[in-house]
Amino acid sequence: MTESNLVQLKIIVERAVRPIRASLACKRKMREELLAHVSGAFEEELARVQDEHAALERTRVRFGNPTEMVNELQDSVRISDRVWRFWEGRPGESALRFALRYVSTQAAVALAIFGAVLAAAGWDRAWTHEEVIAVCSPLVSLLPVFVGLTLFLCAMEKALREARHLTAAPRAGWKKSLVLAWSTPTVRRAMIIGGAAQFLLFMAIYIASNWPARPWVKDHLISIVDTVPAMAFKAGLCVFAGLIMVWPAVERRRHHEEWASLPVEPAS
Amino acid sequence: MTAINGDKLRGHLETMVLSTLEQGEAHGLEILHRLDQAGCGLLRLKEGSLYPALYRLEAAGEVKADWESEPHGRRGARRRIYCLTAKGRRKLDAGRAEWKQFVQILGPIMGAPA
């Protein structure tokens, strides 16, 4: 099949898929499956009529009216897909705007849980001040972790999007991908800065939650130094987890950009 | 015999798809070929409308889909292979019973009892 025919087949599919309000993952699934279908139909028609233009036209007719398809495909999108759409962000949205939107939602959820805990505290008997703090402090300390992780993920996504050679090529196994990522300066910088920031955040939370009456005694300082390897390991895991989470998202976004660049007139 | 177009199939497409999958797992194009074969070439279904039906069946847990491991000579586009689940079999049985009742009731009204 020639490149030009493949583009025409993609356009048939894209006319039905582009207007759908769905996550990039959902649209990617539809695009790939429908492209496989129209490619198969095109091969059948080509074998029948032995003329590429006629085969394309017959494939288009077989596929049906894209406007009707849009409505039917839209109805088939699961409600849970909205969560994915939120997580993926909007096309063209800046990393900072995405981070702010995501963090504000996390803060709203944390505040709702915080409120529920306080309400529960006063339901049966009045909790002491210390009990309320003991229950709520993990929630409060988790918020900066999420904020830090979100900012790190945004920075990592930006770095991976700039490194087109990493995510445009077929994936080459995690070990090789990790080595390739590390050997790319922008990605390496994001990994180092992100990892260092996570490490400092974990250390700050540890120190704040174990603040003694006499902070500068030798034993306390030794206990802080003892936690350094564990916190560094956690920060390293965060970097690795971030890479695993962001890589497919960047691939999906790149796939979407490739399809979104197809010249598709609005379906009539 | 005159062809049956997509509008007349509305409401029955999902049961028909489940019925074709009873013969074994298949991708979308193969499902259409089975439908075409069973309908002696007289079904005029817009092929694109099959996929929303498949996605609805998948969301309802009545079919299960897996990507084929390798693209099948289609330059990167993979097909999804659908198979019937236990819930899908129950839905198919219910769909058949419903269809029999439909024909039994409408047949005499139309003056053409089954």
Span of A159-173, A205-219, B13-27 with lowest mean pLDDT = A159-173
* Pairwise CB contact (< 8 Å): B56 & A32: no
Compute the average pLDDT of residues A226-255. Answer: 86
Angle at A161 between CA A35 and CA A145, to 5 degrees: 115
Per-residue confidence (pLDDT) for residue A91, from 0 to 100: 67
Partners of B83 in the β-ladder: B64
Per-residue confidence (pLDDT) for residue A46, from 0 to 100: 93
Q: What sign has the CA pseudo-torsion A63, A66, A68, A74?
A: positive
Compute the average pLDDT of residues A20-46. Answer: 92
The yes-or-no verdict on residue B96 having pLDDT over 80 is yes
Per-residue confidence (pLDDT) for residue B6, from 0 to 100: 64
The yes-or-no verdict on residue A168 having pLDDT over 70 is no
The minimal CB distance from B77 to the residues A39, A68, A76 is found for A39
Partners of B43 in the β-ladder: B4
Compute the average pLDDT of residues A217-237. Answer: 87
The minimal CB distance from B49 to the residues A29, A72, A77 is found for A72
The yes-or-no verdict on residue A39 having pLDDT over 70 is yes
CA-closest candidate to residue A204, choices A259, A265, A141: A141
B10/A28 Cα distance (integer angstroms): 27
Q: How far is A181 from chain B (nearest CA, A)?
A: 24
Q: How far is B105 from chain A (nearest CA, A)?
A: 30
* Pairwise CB contact (< 8 Å): B74 & A34: no
Which one of A1, A3, A37 makes the best mutation probe of the B interface by having the most chain B beta carbons within 10 Å? A37
Q: What is the mean pLDDT of chain A?
A: 82
Per-residue confidence (pLDDT) for residue B84, from 0 to 100: 96
Q: How far is A69 from chain B (nearest CA, A)?
A: 6
* Pairwise CB contact (< 8 Å): B47 & A37: yes
A91/A114 Cα distance (integer angstroms): 33
- pLDDT band at residue A251 using 50, 70 and 90 as cut-offs: confident
Please give, one letter per residue, the 3-state secondary structure of chain B. CCCEEHHHHCCCHHHHHHHHHCCCCECHHHHHHHHHHHCCCCEECCHHHHHHHHHHHHHCCCEEEEECCCCCCCCCCCCEEEEECHHHHHHHHHHHHHHHHHHHHHHHHHCCCC
Span of A36-40, A145-149, A236-240 with lowest mean pLDDT = A145-149
Angle at A226 between CA A222 and CA A229, to 5 degrees: 150
Per-residue confidence (pLDDT) for residue A239, from 0 to 100: 86
ipTM (interface pTM): 0.87
The minimal CB distance from B78 to the residues A32, A41, A66 is found for A32
Start-to-end CA span in chain B (Å):
18
Query: Residue B86's Cα: distance from chain center in Å?
Result: 16
The minimal CB distance from B78 to the residues A30, A36, A78 is found for A36
Per-residue confidence (pLDDT) for residue B65, from 0 to 100: 95
CA-closest candidate to residue B75, choices A238, A121, A1, A252: A1
- pLDDT band at residue A266 using 50, 70 and 90 as cut-offs: low
Q: What sign has the CA pseudo-torsion A177, A183, A188, A191?
A: positive
User: Is the CB of residue A141 less than 8 Å away from at least one CB of chain B?
Assistant: no
- pLDDT band at residue A80 using 50, 70 and 90 as cut-offs: confident
Per-residue confidence (pLDDT) for residue A171, from 0 to 100: 62
* Pairwise CB contact (< 8 Å): B72 & A75: no
User: Is the CB of residue A35 less than 8 Å away from at least one CB of chain B?
Assistant: yes
The yes-or-no verdict on residue B21 having pLDDT over 90 is yes
What DSSP character marks residue A79? T
The yes-or-no verdict on residue B74 having pLDDT over 60 is no
The minimal CB distance from A64 to the residues B47, B71, B79 is found for B47
> How confident is the model over A152-162, as pLDDT tens digits?
888 887 788 77
- Name every chain B residue with its beta carbon within 8 A of the beta carbon of A36: 27-28, 71-72, 74, 77-79
B51/B63 Cα distance (integer angstroms): 12
Angle at A87 between CA A81 and CA A89, to 5 degrees: 105
pTM, whole model, 2 decimals? Answer: 0.75
Inter-axis angle of helices A185-209 and A174-182, nearest 10:
90
What does DSSP say about strands B4-5 and B80-84: parallel, antiparallel, or unpaired?
A: unpaired
Start-to-end CA span in chain A (Å):
28
Compute the average pLDDT of residues A184-208. Answer: 86
* Pairwise CB contact (< 8 Å): A32 & B47: no
